[in-house]
Structure 1
Amino acid sequence: MSENTPDAQRQEELEAQEAIIAAGADHPGALGGKPQDFWPSFRRFLGLLRPSAWTFAFASLIGAFGTLLTVIGPRVLGEATNVVFEGVVSRMVGQQFAGMSQSEVADALTQAGEHDFANMVLAMERFAPGAGVDFEALRMLVVWVLIIYVAASLFEWLSGYIINVIMVRTMWRVREDVERKINRLPLSHFDRVPRGELISRVTNDIDNMTQTLQQSLSSAITSLLTVVGVVAMMFSISWKLALVALIALPLIGIIMGVIGPKSQKAFQTQWKKVGRLNSRVEESFSGHALVKVYGREKAVSDAFQEENEDLYAASFKAQFLSGVMMPAMQFVGYLTYAGIAVLGGIMVASGQIRIGDVQAFVQYSQLFTQPLAELGGMLPVIQSGTASAERVFSLLDEDEQDPDADDPATTPADGMGVIEFDDVVFSYSDDQPLIDGLSFRVEPGQTVAIVGPTGAGKTTLVNLLMRFYELRGGAIRLDGQSIAELTRADLRSRTGMVLQDPWLFAGSIRDNIRYGNEDASDAEILAAAEATYVDRFVHSLPDGYDTVLEEDAANVSAGERQLITIARAFIRRPQVLILDEATSSVDTRTELLLQKAMSALRQGRTSFVIAHRLSTIRDADLILVMEHGSIVEKGTHEQLITARGAYWRLYQSQFEHAAVDVDQQAAIEESLGASETPIVGGPPRTDSDEG
């Protein structure tokens, strides 16, 4: 038999989580599952922008105008270079060929053996021997360049601003959808998914999706438009140089095909390990006091270090692969640049193209490879964002709790809270029966106690009553109406609940009490606090009822936290009251006071009490005894004691005197000179105990 240590339990949980992840290959909705396919998920990711489709199209159109102006700019600059170069050449040959036409100068150069120079002269559009630089034309071209680039910057800024607004609004909708989804998920979902994993999806993954949309997809539009415009301009200048530039495309495709899939897989692993590390941190922090009590700091630190190292390795691999992409793309761009420079120089020298056009083409080559490199650099980011999107989509695709009826029933507003369990059947799984044919009725003012050893399933009955789980058979009725026909909000509005672990939010004590009834006045809050003895300690706090509770309400004791939750239930004045070990965190004296408060609170209301301390439920009208998830006995305290069954054994185990070591007992007997020593204490004897 293996030792059931916390580390062993943690390992079992991680193995179970890995099994779920492995199963994700066959089940797309499985939490933590590996991505089924990049493209379907990516299309769904982009589909999030559908509500803003027209605005997005408008922003893209503005961006297209900006890109068009950006693409035109180098051509105008190249023309300015031609004006300067042709003016300088015209002045250089002015004295030798003064008064000659362009064709005559070319013929003269050809006869002199200067064939390349002659071709260059023929290619010039502003050649005039001795004329010099046309500064008026140059001035106009420079002005146009300034206008073009200023307008392009404004268009691109406006487009980027609109797109970023769309992206932020889109992720706001995703967060809203996730919030609503969490509220619609059944309790069973939270029973099987680690909280750290869920928090990672709601925070880290959505943040990653937001960054992907803002930093990548918005820039991708500009990059794609730039590539298309640049290719068109390059072919308009020289198809030969354009073909040299297009050699980069297959090289870039090879880089993306080799590095891309590996980078995507690495990012998937990275985010999976982020979720596991978050689970570890959340677990360690929530149980920090116990970690110190049991001296497990080193074990927890070692476990954290191990998972942190795993995350480091996964993150390093993902970032390394994504980092290789950009330099590889830039290397292809440099090769393209060198090819264009060499071929362009030869073509200028041979008069096939003007020098300004080569200058423009060099700029276009940079404009061509730069967006391609950016697109290559975006690919790992988009893959990472898509992997996060799949994790969020898997949460959004989880099965929800059964919806309320389209035409829900209602219970009388003045109903007293009669509860009926009619042949109730329930189990968490088909192969493990839990409750079979349970029937009982609780009248207003009566109290039902549910007892049993830890893990017996006591809370299950309460979960069924609150419709956290749905029945497999039978019915539960509230004031004669099946709770399955009521809306969950209507059912739970008639119920007050105090849990074993007190939950308080980061607000004032007054606000925490008012949480049970938002319309409660300060006078009603004070009355509830006095009835539940909150008023006894609240005046010792710095700001009284306005004292703001710290994280986890650490500035009040555990018992005081429980008193506040009881006051919260008190002010609700529900028809049905559920107490799940509500007094387990208070001292004995306070418990006695609370019993009086609870008696007043339960007056005229149906109450369900889950208790370990049997002394607190001796006066219950009905006691249900549970073992191994099944109800084995039911009756009053006297009836169950008389039956001498499971309840009697529980009662004996709580009230009989602690066993005394045999040797110590023998020594005591010898010193007292008694042949038999009675056991002091034990439960009160009843007639059934005789004999």
Structure 2
Amino acid sequence: MHGAGGARGGLSEDERVDGKIYDFKLIKKMSRFAKPYLHLFLAALILILAVSSSRLARPYITKIAIDEYMSKGLSGELPTDSARKGLYTLGVLFFGLVVMEFAFSYLHTYILNLAGKKIVMNLRDRIFRHIQKLPVSYFDKNPVGKIVTRVTNDTDSLNEMFTNVIVSLMQDIFVMIGVVAIMLSLSVRLTIISFLVLPVMTLATYMFRKKAREIFQEIRARLANLNAFLAEHVSGMKLIQVFNMQDKKCDEFEKTNKEYYDSNRKRIILHGLFRPFMDVVNSLAIALILWFGGRDIISGILEFGTLYAFTNYINQFFQPIMNLTEIYNTMQSSMVSAERIFDLLEEKPEPEPEDDDTIELKEIRGEIEFKNVWFAYVGENWVLKDVSFKINPGETAAFVGATGAGKTSIINLICGFYEIQKGDIFIDGINLKKIKKTALRKNIGLVLQDVFLFSGDIETNIKLFEEGITFDKVKKAAEYVNADYFISRFPEGYKHPVNEKGTTLSAGQRQLLSFARALVFDPAILVLDEATSNIDTETEILIQKALVKLLSGRTSIAIAHRLSTIQKADKILVIHKGTIRESGSHQELLEKKGLYYNLYKLQYDGEDIDTIMNEIA
């Protein structure tokens, strides 16, 4: 298939951050996934507000204990027994509130995490379902690691938003409003004095937010560079080792890694300064309360319990501001992740015909026709130029050409992986644009040189987890294409474990399995993309015998770099630089003494087909 570019060192478009800590459009999109669990969030919010109310009540209870019972008991205004009884009642109430906070805190933490995990689970299901509907061109442009990150890391980041940030913000707002209301009810004068530090606090918060945004962008850029470097160099490790570039690449990595470290160090310094500075501002507010409140107590216009309550409430007021660093980081990261997730979800799925025009083929004869087809992966960089040919039902057609000539692109178009820019493609006389993709692909078997096998066993890889296919059918297919020859040698037989990509099997064994896979689904059209190259001699004999059986009774398209494998094809099409230069049977093309003739002659002299095509055409 058409290859995608490798990892880039620079910051990709989707890794950039515009610096917004919130985006109402994104929040609205996220809320759609949270809506089914709104009752859980409401329950958690009620519990959190109950916990916050309890925490607001505790300093007030202590104030009453000091002013109404301790002070009056000491001065003799209240009998000792009454004072003790009142303190006992308040103590029980205080302890009861603490126990309630413990229980409600546990419940709201459990409920929030339950809701968050359910949202993430549903979101991941939705993303994976959507990914399977995307056109192949999307996977050409986006590396696997990036897509996996969307499904795993980015959804986890959103979980933090749902479980920690949203409800915490509501709790903090409720606490701050509650603190101000209680403080005003106790002493308007002392409240105003306490908040003389607000301008300093506001300025510091603004400066922190601005600087944190800049550092956050820098960190993401450095991380993107680090990930790109690792992806590129791990993929190219063989080349690095062959050319003894290890030391040089280690130096480059150390530089990239150091840049990421330096950016994180800036964040550590900023956070390390912000919280202690807020502690200083908080302490300054308490100092003002103690100075002016103490004078008022001496003057007899303020009670000691009120002063104690003020010092507690000012601490509660500043706590959410001190937590801003953690909340800001989580929100910033979550919004970036949300943007990337919804960018993926908004990618247009593979185009299907309009309902009125859709033709869902149940069975096809296998006639394939290209009429004046022009195709490019990008812009007008034409890969195929005015290509026309016809393959009749049951015929075997072979495409010959150098790498990049357009052979694989033709296969991609037959399978409906890409849309052509000009011309028409017909299957059994029906325009490909009107055929439903699932119906089309159900009738096509694809055998690639690089066979992909899933983790599991041999049986499941032949039937591709299709429960409707019986073991007998799998075994017959394997026997028919000579795959049973090596499968039966394994102790576990068809239950022999296969790892991802089947690296424990030889290239020939993997191709025989792909033949069995194609046969078990009995497609009307069989496509073999260079399926007979890089095979050991013993296995190639088995493959050649299997091919004869596999190709009979169906339309077959073969692409090979060795002309010896396609001489029996009904039709050979020589493609060069995106155009069909010659077509006919092997004998007909030799008699023409044209491009194919020269190609055939030179290849038997030992030259490579790519070199030959570039020299003679």
Q: TM-score, normalised by structure 1?
A: 0.80
Find the residue that maps to 1:555 and give its secondary structure: coil
Distance of 2:542 and 2:482 partners within structure 1: 8
Aligned to 2:61: 76
Find the residue that maps to 1:608 and give its secondary structure: strand
Do residues 397 (structure 1) and 382 (structure 2) align? Answer: no
Distance of 1:335 and 1:611 partners within structure 2: 81
Distance 1:327 1:314, change over 3 A: same
Distance 1:261 1:188, change over 3 A: farther
Matches within 5 A, 1:113-132: 127-128=77-78
Matches within 5 A, 1:565-576: 565-576=514-525
Find the residue that maps to 2:132 and give its secondary structure: helix
Query: Which of 5, 8, 20 is residue 14 of structure 1 equivalent to?
Result: 8
Distance of 2:361 and 2:348 partners within structure 1: 32
Cα deviations by residue, 1:601-634 (Å, 9 ceiling, x for unpaired): 1211111112111111112222222222333333
Structure 1 gap segments, 5+ residues each? 1-8, 25-30, 92-126, 660-682, 684-691
% same residue: 33
Q: State whether residues 196 and 280 of structure 1, in contact with CA within 8 Å, keep that contact through their aligned partners in structure 2.
A: no
Distance 1:424 1:311, change over 3 A: same
Query: Which of 7, 22, 30 is residue 39 of structure 1 equivalent to?
Result: 22
Distance of 1:289 and 1:302 partners within structure 2: 18
Bigger Rg over Cα: 1
Q: State whether residues 83 and 138 of structure 1, in contact with CA within 8 Å, keep that contact through their aligned partners in structure 2.
A: no
Q: TM-score, normalised by structure 2?
A: 0.89
**Structure 1 outlier segments of 4+, above 6 Å:** none
Aligned to 1:335: 284
Distance of 1:252 and 1:409 partners within structure 2: 64
Aligned to 1:49: 34
Aligned to 1:246: 195
Q: State whether residues 333 and 366 of structure 1, in contact with CA within 8 Å, keep that contact through their aligned partners in structure 2.
A: yes
Do residues 262 (structure 1) and 262 (structure 2) align? Answer: no
Query: Which of 373, 382, 392 is residue 322 of structure 2 equivalent to?
Result: 373
Cα deviations by residue, 1:313-366 (Å, 9 ceiling, x for unpaired): 333334443444333333322222222222222222222221112112211111
Distance of 2:482 and 2:587 partners within structure 1: 32
Aligned to 1:688: none
Do residues 406 (structure 1) and 355 (structure 2) align? Answer: yes
Aligned to 2:147: 198
Structure 2 letter corresponding to 1:90? S
Matches within 5 A, 1:503-652: 503-515=452-464, 517-652=466-601
Displacement, 1:595? Answer: 2.0
Displacement, 1:656? Answer: 1.0
Deviates more, 1:137-146 or 1:423-432: 423-432
Displacement, 1:458? Answer: 1.3
Structure 1 letter corresponding to 2:34? L
Q: State whether residues 625 and 647 of structure 1, in contact with CA within 8 Å, keep that contact through their aligned partners in structure 2.
A: yes
Distance 1:78 1:444, change over 3 A: same
Superposition CA RMSD, Å: 2.9
Distance 1:153 1:63, change over 3 A: same
Structure 2 letter corresponding to 1:496? G
Q: State whether residues 408 and 487 of structure 1, in contact with CA within 8 Å, keep that contact through their aligned partners in structure 2.
A: no
Structure 2 gap segments, 5+ residues each? 613-617
Structure 2 letter corresponding to 1:597? A
Alignment: residue pair count? 603
Distance of 1:254 and 1:645 partners within structure 2: 81
Displacement, 1:563? Answer: 2.3
Distance of 1:543 and 1:223 partners within structure 2: 61
Displacement, 1:658? Answer: 6.3
Displacement, 1:569? Answer: 1.6
Cα deviations by residue, 1:258-281 (Å, 9 ceiling, x for unpaired): 122332233334334434444444
Cα deviations by residue, 1:81-105 (Å, 9 ceiling, x for unpaired): 22443245324xxxxxxxxxxxxxx
Do residues 364 (structure 1) and 305 (structure 2) align? Answer: no
Displacement, 1:78? Answer: 1.4
Distance of 1:609 and 1:586 partners within structure 2: 16
Distance of 1:204 and 1:412 partners within structure 2: 40
Cα deviations by residue, 1:225-263 (Å, 9 ceiling, x for unpaired): 211211111111111222233344433332232122332
Query: Which of 360, 365, 372 is residue 416 of structure 1 equivalent to?
Result: 365
Aligned to 2:297: 348
Distance of 2:596 and 2:528 partners within structure 1: 20
Matches within 5 A, 1:127-138: 127-128=77-78, 134-138=83-87
Distance 1:541 1:342, change over 3 A: farther
Aligned to 1:97: none
Aligned to 1:454: 403
Find the residue that maps to 2:381 and give its secondary structure: coil
Do residues 464 (structure 1) and 458 (structure 2) align? Answer: no
Deviates more, 1:320-329 or 1:382-391: 320-329
Find the residue that maps to 2:382 and give its secondary structure: coil
Structure 2 letter corresponding to 1:255? A
